[in-house]
Structure 1
Amino acid sequence: MQLVREGALELKPGYQPRVPVLSADQYIKIREVRVPLERLATELATVRVTNELLDQLVELDKQFIDAEHRRSWKEAMSANQAFHFSIYNASGNEVLVRMIENLWLLTGPFVHKQYLSLPRLPSDSDLHTQIIDALRRRMPNEAGDLIVQDMREGFRIILQHLLHAKASLRGKRPNANTTKTNGKY
């Protein structure tokens, strides 16, 4: 019932609980809420970062890159989530982390489905490395900006794939501008 209250499951009278199907619009709305929260958690973590956390982040990034190169998308998603939540947990604000977890929970099945069906090559982005560097140098604004950039890149890829799949079903080419919201991804 807690998952139903949080929106991670829906329960209709006479039916079993099920994972709700998110639309692209709902995904975008959740993304708009996630961005400032994850930025804040990253900025708070920057002043509390330890060498152990930095070492852990380097290892998680290596796992992420390795999994992507092996096209083991589930492992890559898991390493990416562990990377992000290692940072957010370091914020020392369990209320903030719980809110972020709830938002990830809402989008989890949607992202999982889209990510696993993406016909793509491994990412060549070094954003995780840049985030680690900003954390190491204790630069909260820079680390926050980089987290947002990393999130937006993931959102952009997923939304482009989703819109392309919808357009293919209708026999149309997707409009490149349809993946933007207020000029941002």
Structure 2
Amino acid sequence: MSKIEYRTLNDLAYDRIREGLMAASFHPGQVLVIRTLAESYGISTTPVREALQRLVAERLLVLLPNRSIAVPGLEAAKYAEIARIRCELEGLAAELATPRLGKPALRKLAKLVSDMDASLERRDHDAYRRENQAFHFAIYSECGSPRLFQLIQDLWSETGPYMKELFGAPAYEPKANEAHQALLRALDRREPKTARASVIADLTVAGGFLIPHLEALEASRDGKAKTST
């Protein structure tokens, strides 16, 4: 195998794992098994191992004392900190993208909002998460700043696994698509500031449900740990 081919496989493994983090394909605290990942991607274990080490260096994964590599566990304070940063960056990206989105892009976004409604109706939360990411990234990718979009993707890689817990707060579901509908209206009317506010509202509403849920999970986990000692 040539060096170029090897690097391509390394990058493939890195991209697939990172995409899995963004899409909530992995659970918080999940140990990632190199052989299992390699088989699912159809490649050897070496590129997967090196991709995992790269993600550990980027603090998207953690190295456990037994040398296993895992998705970081749930931390309410960490999520709250990242959510505040996401509000600023994603709000800016939406504001910048508003005058750049043409009618075909707006039709695509409207279809995704409709798809999210349908997914929520049938309680298909995995489909909703995929459509939610596609909706947001279709907007942010048009912001005209590749560096800004990259920063947003980095933060999604950190918070993606937390999205597995979002629907653990049942009251969130009826609210899940409201800010998307408001954002779509702002984009259609070419209102950059309103688009920015709608993105911030979306993240704030989600955080308002998710952070207390994470705090409750942490308290339960800590209580069990004390009981077992």
**Same fold (TM > 0.5):** yes
Q: Residues 58-105 of structure 1: CA distance to partner in whole angstroms, max 9, x if unpaired?
A: 111111111111111111111111111111011121111111111011
In 2, Cα distance between equivalents of 1:13 and 1:83 = 38
TM-score by length of 2: 0.68
Q: Which structure shows the higher helix fraction?
A: 2
Equivalent residue of 2:63, what SS? coil
Task: Report the structure number with the largest CA radius of gyration.
Answer: 2
Return the match for 2:96 from 31, 44, 65: 44
How high is the sequence identity, in percent, across the aligned residues? 33
Q: CA deviation at 1:147?
A: 0.6
Return the match for 1:104 from 145, 153, 156: 156
Q: Residues 90-145 of structure 1: CA distance to partner in whole angstroms, max 9, x if unpaired?
A: 11211111111110111111222x12534457324532121111111111111000
Q: Which moved more, 1:73-82 or 1:160-169?
A: 160-169
Answer yes or no: is the 8 Å Cα contact 2:60–2:158 preserved in 1. Answer: yes
In 1, Cα distance between equivalents of 2:64 and 2:202 = 36
Q: CA deviation at 1:12?
A: 4.2
Indicate the residue corresponding to 1:157 in structure 2. 209
Return the match for 2:84 from 4, 24, 32: 32
Answer yes or no: is the 8 Å Cα contact 1:39–1:145 preserved in 2. Answer: yes
CA, structure 1 residues 53+142, in 2 after alignment: closer, same or farther (shift >3 Å)? same
Structure 1 unaligned spans of 5+? 171-185
Q: Where does 1:131-170 land on structure 2 (aligned, <5 Å)?
A: 131-166=183-218
Q: Which moved more, 1:161-170 or 1:17-26?
A: 161-170
Return the match for 1:122 from 170, 173, 176: 173
TM-score by length of 1: 0.83
Q: CA deviation at 1:168?
A: 6.2
Q: Tell me how many residue pairs correspond in the alignment.
A: 169
Moved over 6 A (4+): none
Answer yes or no: is the 8 Å Cα contact 1:74–1:116 preserved in 2. Answer: no
Q: CA deviation at 1:31?
A: 1.0
Indicate the residue corresponding to 2:146 in structure 1. 94
In 2, Cα distance between equivalents of 1:16 and 1:52 = 46
RMSD of equivalent CA atoms: 2.0
Answer yes or no: is the 8 Å Cα contact 1:39–1:147 preserved in 2. Answer: yes
